[in-house]
Each structure stands twice: as C-alpha cells, then as structure tokens.
Chains A and B, each alone.
Chain A
C-alpha cells in the first residue's frame, strides 16, 4: 500500500507550490488547486480505508501495516529515528476524518474567504496543516509524531494569526503557540525518558508491551512514582496541551480569532483531538504498566468536561460557546480512554472514545461551518445581535439543528451512539464519574440549544443599515449538507467492527437503562433551554440573577486567564525575569563591556607607537640596531 505515501506528499507539494506562487496566482486558481489536491487526498484516504479494512483482517484481528519506512537519523545500532507510514485501525480512521473535514473546509473556504487579503496564503497554510496532521496520525514512531505534532502547532499558529493586522488575532496565535509549546516540553521529556529506557521510538515495539523492552524501567523511581509513570504522565501533558485539557485549555477559546473554517478544521475536528489520538496510540502502555496515570487522565478529562460545559452555558460569542463545547467533548473522549479496559468487550471506553472522536469531528465541524455561515450573514460573533434568523438561513438552520441534536445525544443522530458508549464505559468504571458525565451531557444539550435558540429563534431579527441576512452560497451550504448527512447516519456505522482496543471485533450493544437515562437528561437539558430561550422572555435573566456569583465567574471563565496573567506577569516576569534581566544587562553585559572599554583605552594610549612616520620608524630601527650592537660588543 505504498500509494499512501501520496496522501502525505500531495498536500506538502500543494503547500510548497501555493506558498511559492503566493500572489502570482489569482486567488481562484490557488483555491482550486488546493481543493483539487485535497480531493485527490481524500479519495486516496477513502481507498486506503476500504483496502485496509477489507484486507488487513487476519483471524479476526486487524494487523498493523507499515506501508512505508525509511531510517531518517541513525544514532547507534539500537536508536534511530524513522520516517514512515503506519496503518492501523485508528490511523486509517483518522485519515478519513482529517481528509473529509479538510476537504469540506477547503470547499467551504472558497466562498467564505472570498476576497480576503492573503487568500492564497490561507490555502497554502491549509495544505501545510493537512500534511502535518495526516503525517501525525500515520507516524510509525513517537519521534516522527513529535515532529508532525510541532508542525500542526506551527500551522495552527499561522492560521490563528491569519488576520495579522488584528492585535487580538496576533495575541491569540502567540498564546496558542506558547501554551501548547509549553505542554510539548513535557511531551519531549516524556519521549526522552521513555526512549532512554526502552531504547526505541517505534510504536510497534512500544505498544507490544513486551516486558523485556520495559525491563530496564524496573525499580527506577523518582519522587515516589516509577520512571515509566512519569514518562507516560509527561507525554499526556503534551496531549493535554494540544487537546486543551484543564488547566492548559486557555488557548483554545482565544484561538477562535482565526478564520471560522480554520476553527472548524483545526480547533474542533482534527488538531485538538491529537492528544486523544496520542493517548489512544500509546493506550497499551498506559493500561498495562501505568493504569494509575490512565485513571488520572480520566479524572482530568471529567473535570475539564464539566468545567468547560459550565462556562459554555454563559458565553455570548457563538464561536466561544463552540470552543468550550469542543473542550468539553474532548474531555468526554479522554474520560472514555481513561476508564477503558484492554481487549475484547472490556475495551468499551477505547472504542467509544474513537467513535466519539469520529462523530464529534463531523458534527463539530458542521457546527463551526454553520457558525461561519451565520457570521457571514450577520457579520458578528455576538449572540445578542442574532435571533430570529431561521427565516433567512434555512439550510444553515436545519443542518445546525441536526448537529445540535447529535451533540446533545438524541437518537438516531450519531452523537447519541458514541456518547452512550462513553457513558456506559464510565458508569461501568465508577458510578460517581458516570453521574458527573451524564450531568455534563445534560449541560451539553442545554447550552447547545441555548445557542440554537438564541441564533435562530427568539426575538425578530433587527435588520441594520437595510442589510438583510441571506443564505450563504452553494460552496458553503454544500459542505454543511454533506456533514449533516454524515452526522445523521454515522451513528449506524458498526464502529466496533473497525476500531477496538486490541484490533479485534467489538460488538456494540446499547444498554437500555443508560441510553434511557442519557436521553432523558438530554431532553431535560433541551427542555430547559426551550423554556428559557425559545421565546424572548425574562426567565433567563431571572435565572442568571439567581445564580449571580457562579454566572459571573463562569462568564469570566472562572478567572483562569486572569490567574495565568497574574502568575506570568506579577510573579514570573516581575519577581524572576526582571532581576535575571537586570543581572544579564548589568553584570554579564557589564563585564563584557568593561573588558571592551579597557582594551579600547589601552589601545588608545599605545597607538602612538604606530605613528606612520617613516623617520620615526627609521630612528627606532637605528636605535634597535645600536642596542643589539652594544649587546654583542660589550656583553
């Protein structure tokens, strides 16, 4: 299956060509080329998926296929960094997700970004991102993954800061880059610890969980925890940074300053689930050697999920609501991985997590693209400027509604099936956690329908400046409809047949009790939202007044950003950086400057010797000769 290499090469080529051509090509040419290449990539990905799932199944277990491999850097006979393509169920599934969403975003952007300055640059960056993300999921070893991991971070940075004349966008892109980079430091240290003891980067060897490979870890402890636990926890920190887990989530809401299709592609569907993918990729190690870290991941995920859901309820910027919703849903995926067992039917959580990743990518991309369509129509992100849009944007409205129902977990939409599996796995692991996640699912339904009602229902839309909102062009509604259809039917995919914790067959069965409870909770959430927001009334304001303290705290995102600012500005910058900077400027630089000044002074004083006067030199020569003669004669 060597042709999979083209899945990586084509977007890279597209990036190079579009990047070099830049404004030499007309925007429409650049957009068409980028979209055409992505279409080929998507077709190749689908073909890969079809071929993989139809041929790689051996005795009921999917085999890992190394489609391509080359040694990139050879350190010594054991340790080398490879570049390759690994095909296994999750990477193939990710190929499909990434290429689908990326293709939809490419098509959508043709209309959405039309007339923007830097349109060609935008497409070049999209290609770069597609290349990096596809490379990330097919990595054969953890180091290759790390490099592509940084590359998606870079392209995310470039795309968030696309509107580089806007100070907010620049600040947001820096914030995203620094926060994720900070987390990646943990990732790198984790990789180094892991490879130091196991002498390999290769996923195949690592995830085989061969006791010999991990033998040198035995007895190595640091601060009361084993070195392997530290390594795996640090690797998770990298994943937590990318996947916006608490407390590293602060970059994601700000990342919404980027163009909306970018938010759909990078900050909803693909890049932010890289952390989930990472944990899933290393899942056998987590479950076999460090279950305590895995449980930690579950609790972090659960807390993040609840935390983000609470914040999402009170945000008024529609993209921010969706951003917090994304954080919350990624929390669900993390929880599912954290509570999962390994192999057979015990791997419910793993399967559910991947399933949710798949369905979430589709409906969240749909939500973001829908939001983009709305913003395109009303030229604002603020909910307060919307309301009553259902007449003007029928396609957007129906597809948005489908996505809302899916994320709320209403059957038969896709979100129901995946979320139900997650809740089942969580409930099985710990009823307490299960209750929290069910509650969070209810909150999800509530805030999504609050969003829906406040955009499309409620007050009559106030036309401003004689501008009437109108439905978006076909290039934008087509992806919406496509993703809407996928969202409706994706739940019926027998996902367990394709992806499971050990590559075997996982039979999905829906627990009627849990399904009933989750649907009832979701319906309650929707009902509450309907009561508060369907019609314009005072009920919502009254509720907000009643929970004034928590409302204000949540509105300010529980002051996490302020806390970060306080820590960085007041403590790190003022107490540590400034004295260090002073020391550098006055002591270190001062020493060097002192040396230079002394040298300059001395040379100024003695430069008279080199007078440049011939007779002066001749006199010195004569004097020297006489002295030498005197020495020879008299001594």
Chain B
C-alpha cells in the first residue's frame, strides 16, 4: 500500500495500484454474484471477476517479466473464452426466460422437492 503513496505524483504507477484495482473489481464481482437476483446481473458479475483476473495477468507480466508476452496472451485467451461462456450463458438465460417469463435466479426450482410436508412413511 505504501508504494502507491510513495510514488504519488511521480507519473509511475506501481504494481500494487493495479492489484488494488483488481481486488476491488474481484470482490465487487463476488458481491454482485451473491446478492443480485437477476441472472443477467450475475453474468455481469462473473465477467467482472474474470476481468479482474485479466488485469492481474497483464500487470504481473508487465512488472515482473517485461521481456515476455505470456501474461498478455493469457489475458487474450481468457477474454475469448469468457466471450464463449457468456454466449452459452445468455442462451441458457434466454431459454429460462422463455419457460418462466422471468430471469430471477430464485425462480429456478423446477427440480427441487416440494416444500416439506410431514411425509409419513407407511408402516
């Protein structure tokens, strides 16, 4: 933390700065994933978590191994894969909407046992 303030105003952004942003994005995503009721919002939250990881990849590559490019490519791969994943997820969400007329995550209980009503075993 100290590094951010040490170099404040020097025009150099230290690694910790990137990690801090990524940390905020990650937990914002986690929070969104746990608290949002809409499937679309949950999907966006997942994207945020993935993007925070991408930032980490890029930042670590830039600061620790400046001569190499693996981190950037990893980030590119992750973006491509998250695009695919989003496409699949959106397809699922659309189907859910067609069946249930909403995209609330709580309404997905078709496979759940009905509410417990003292089922008595016939002896």
Do A and B share a complex? yes
Query: Which residues on A are within 8 Å of B, measured CB to CB?
Result: 589, 593, 596-597, 600, 604, 607, 612-615, 618-619, 622
Contact A618 B33 (CB under 8 A): yes
Q: Please judge, given known A-B contacts A596-B121, A600-B121, A613-B105, whether A619 and B112 are in contact too, CB under 8 Å.
A: no
Q: Tell me the complex Cα distance, A613–B42, Å.
A: 13
Residues of A within 8 A of B96 (CB): none
Interface residue B116 (Cβ < 8 Å from any Cβ of A) = yes
Contact B105 A614 (CB under 8 A): yes
A582 to chain B, nearest CB (A): 16
Residues of B within 8 A of A615 (CB): 33-35, 42, 105
With beta carbons under 8 angstroms apart, the residue of A589, A597, A612, A622 that contacts B30 is A622
Report 26 cross-chain contacts, Cβ distance below 8 Å, ordered by A residue: A589-B123, A593-B123, A596-B121, A597-B121, A600-B121, A604-B116, A607-B113, A607-B116, A612-B109, A612-B111, A612-B112, A613-B105, A613-B106, A614-B42, A614-B105, A614-B108, A615-B33, A615-B34, A615-B35, A615-B42, A615-B105, A618-B33, A618-B34, A619-B34, A622-B30, A622-B34
Residues of B within 8 A of A600 (CB): 121
A343 to chain B, nearest CB (A): 67
Q: Per-residue CB proximity of B95-123 to A under 8 Å, as 1/0?
A: 00000000001101101110010000101
Within 8 A of A (CB), among B22-68: 30, 33-35, 42
Residues of A within 8 A of B33 (CB): 615, 618
In this complex, the interface size class of chain B, counting residues with CB under 8 Å from chain A, is: 10 to 19
Q: Tell me the complex Cα distance, A593–B109, Å.
A: 32
Q: Tell me the complex Cα distance, A596–B109, Å.
A: 28
Residues of B within 8 A of A604 (CB): 116
Q: Tell me the complex Cα distance, A600–B117, Å.
A: 12
Q: Tell me the complex Cα distance, A600–B34, Å.
A: 32
Q: Tell me the complex Cα distance, A612–B111, Å.
A: 9
Q: Tell me the complex Cα distance, A8–B111, Å.
A: 62
* Given A604-B116, A614-B108, A615-B105, 9 extra CB contacts under 8 A: A589-B123, A600-B121, A612-B109, A612-B111, A612-B112, A613-B105, A614-B42, A618-B34, A619-B34
Q: Tell me the complex Cα distance, A593–B121, Å.
A: 9
Q: Tell me the complex Cα distance, A580–B29, Å.
A: 67
Sorted from nearest, which 3 A-B pairs have the closest CB atoms?
A612-B112, A593-B123, A615-B34
Q: Tell me the complex Cα distance, A614–B111, Å.
A: 13
Residues of B within 8 A of A618 (CB): 33-34
Q: Which residue on chain B has the smallest CB distance to residue A590?
A: B123
Q: Tell me the complex Cα distance, A604–B115, Å.
A: 11
Residues of A within 8 A of B113 (CB): 607
Residues of B within 8 A of A614 (CB): 42, 105, 108
Q: Tell me the complex Cα distance, A612–B105, Å.
A: 10
Q: Tell me the complex Cα distance, A604–B33, Å.
A: 29
Q: Tell me the complex Cα distance, A133–B113, Å.
A: 61
Residues of A within 8 A of B112 (CB): 612
Residues of A within 8 A of B123 (CB): 589, 593
Q: Tell me the complex Cα distance, A267–B42, Å.
A: 86
A587 to chain B, nearest CB (A): 14
Residues of A within 8 A of B111 (CB): 612
Residues of B within 8 A of A596 (CB): 121
Q: Tell me the complex Cα distance, A607–B116, Å.
A: 9
Which of B35, B42, B123 is packed against the most chain A CB atoms within 10 Å?
A: B123
Q: Tell me the complex Cα distance, A596–B122, Å.
A: 11
B100 to chain A, nearest CB (A): 15
Q: Tell me the complex Cα distance, A600–B122, Å.
A: 12
Residues of A within 8 A of B105 (CB): 613-615
Q: Which residue on chain A has the smallest CB distance to residue B119?
A: A600
Q: Tell me the complex Cα distance, A355–B11, Å.
A: 131
Residues of A within 8 A of B35 (CB): 615
Residues of B within 8 A of A597 (CB): 121
Q: Tell me the complex Cα distance, A600–B123, Å.
A: 13
Q: Which residue on chain B has the smallest CB distance to residue A613?
A: B106
Residues of A within 8 A of B108 (CB): 614
A155 to chain B, nearest CB (A): 40
Q: Tell me the complex Cα distance, A614–B105, Å.
A: 8
Q: Tell me the complex Cα distance, A292–B35, Å.
A: 95
Residues of A within 8 A of B116 (CB): 604, 607
Q: Tell me the complex Cα distance, A18–B112, Å.
A: 56
Q: Which residue on chain A has the smallest CB distance to residue B118?
A: A604
Residues of A within 8 A of B109 (CB): 612
B99 to chain A, nearest CB (A): 17
Residues of B within 8 A of A612 (CB): 109, 111-112
A591 to chain B, nearest CB (A): 12
B88 to chain A, nearest CB (A): 16
B122 to chain A, nearest CB (A): 11
A207 to chain B, nearest CB (A): 56
A590 to chain B, nearest CB (A): 9
Q: Tell me the complex Cα distance, A613–B107, Å.
A: 9
Q: Tell me the complex Cα distance, A298–B41, Å.
A: 100
A595 to chain B, nearest CB (A): 11
